[in-house]
Structures are given as structure tokens and as C-alpha cells.
């Protein structure tokens, strides 16, 4: 099912290699962190689903607002994800949690579960690099965002912290 979703997301983002690369990298880090942190199978499934779809509202935001900032993505993404996940046959409880994660993945206070924490860490690992964050901003993210042992290790190793 994850592979079906992965391919559906690639199709949805057709002709947008940068964004396809982004969610593929976030998915890879999220899966690595989740498996290393020994989450259960259902949690892993939710994390992988959310990692692939977390920015699903980005094109709608660009068309509708001429902007795709995080808050707009949080606003527009869940409804688009709901339709796609429904079409692909995902269970409602999985879809509901994924929609919640999409609606909050740029909100860093009140992280309420390991799935949310891992999604945020994986997205940060990719965004630090893609946004060419300064060493100072990277250090701040390391100290304030990263909580999992694996996420912290990857961040330290990748960015020389």
C-alpha cells in the first residue's frame, strides 16, 4: 500500500522533480528513524504515509495564494490527502491521523506522539539541507526540535554538530 501511495504521489507531483525528491527524502529518513526507534507496525505505516503526503497541499497553495508557506500547507493539505487516501483504500483511522499530522507538520509545540515527532524530525533533516540553513539555525533546530536518539544522531553526523 505504501508503494501504491508513493507512486500516486509521484504522479500527483508530475513534472515537479524538486518536490518529488523532497518527499522521497523525508520518507526515507522517517522510515529509518521510526524503525530504529522500534515503533509498532501501525505507527510505522502512519509515519510512512504522512511522510509521503505531508506537503500534498503545496500546489494548491501556490495556485490559490501564490505562496506555499507552512501554515497554508497545513490548511489545504488534509482535504487533498483525505481524497487520495480514500481512493487508495486506506483505513479511516489511518487517514484521520495522517490528516492531523499534515495539518500540524509545521507546528512545533504540543507534538503529541512519536509519529508526529518523527515526521517533524525527518522534514527538518531535509529542510536544513534544502534551505541551506546556517550553522546557528541548525544548532537551534537540533536543540529544540530533535528528541529521538536516531534523529539526533543523524542530525549530528550530517551537519557536524
Q: What's the average model confidence in pLDDT over 51-72?
A: 88
Q: What pLDDT digit, counting tens, does each position of 5-27 carry?
A: 999 999 999 999 999 999 999 99
Instruction: Tell how many helices (H) and how many strands (E) occur in the chain.
Output: 9, 0
Q: Mean pLDDT score of the chain, rounded to an integer?
A: 95
Nearest to 33 by CA among 13, 51, 11: 51
Task: Provide the whole-model pTM.
Answer: 0.95
> Distances in Å between the alpha carbon of 108 and those of 22, 53, 88, 127?
20, 18, 29, 14
* CA of residue 83 relative to chain centroid, distance: 18
CA distance 139 to 59: 31
What one-character DSSP code corresponds to residue 7?
A: H
Amino acid at each position: 500500500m505504501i508503494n501504491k501511495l508513493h507512486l500516486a504521489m509521484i504522479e500527483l507531483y508530475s513534472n515537479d522533480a524538486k518536490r518529488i525528491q523532497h518527499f522521497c527524502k523525508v520518507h526515507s529518513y522517517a522510515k529509518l528513524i521510526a524503525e530504529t526507534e522500534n515503533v509498532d507496525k501501525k505507527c510505522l505505516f502512519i509515519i510512512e504515509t504522512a511522510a509521503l503526503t505531508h506537503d500534498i497541499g503545496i500546489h494548491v497553495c501556490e495556485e490559490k495564494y501564490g505562496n506555499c508557506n507552512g501554515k497554508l500547507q497545513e490548511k489545504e493539505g488534509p482535504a487533498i490527502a483525505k481524497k487520495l487516501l480514500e481512493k487508495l483504500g486506506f483505513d479511516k483511522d489511518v487517514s484521520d491521523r495522517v490528516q492531523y499530522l499534515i495539518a500540524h507538520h509545521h507546528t512545533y509545540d504540543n507534538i503529541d506522539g512519536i509519529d508526529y515527532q518523527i515526521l517533524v524530525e525527518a522534514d527538518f533533516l531535509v529542510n536544513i539541507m534544502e534551505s541551506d540553513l546556517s550553522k546557528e539555525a541548525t544548532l537551534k533546530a537540533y536543540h529544540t526540535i530533535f528528541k529521538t536518539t536516531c534523529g539526533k544522531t543523524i542530525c549530528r553526523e550530517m551537519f557536524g554538530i
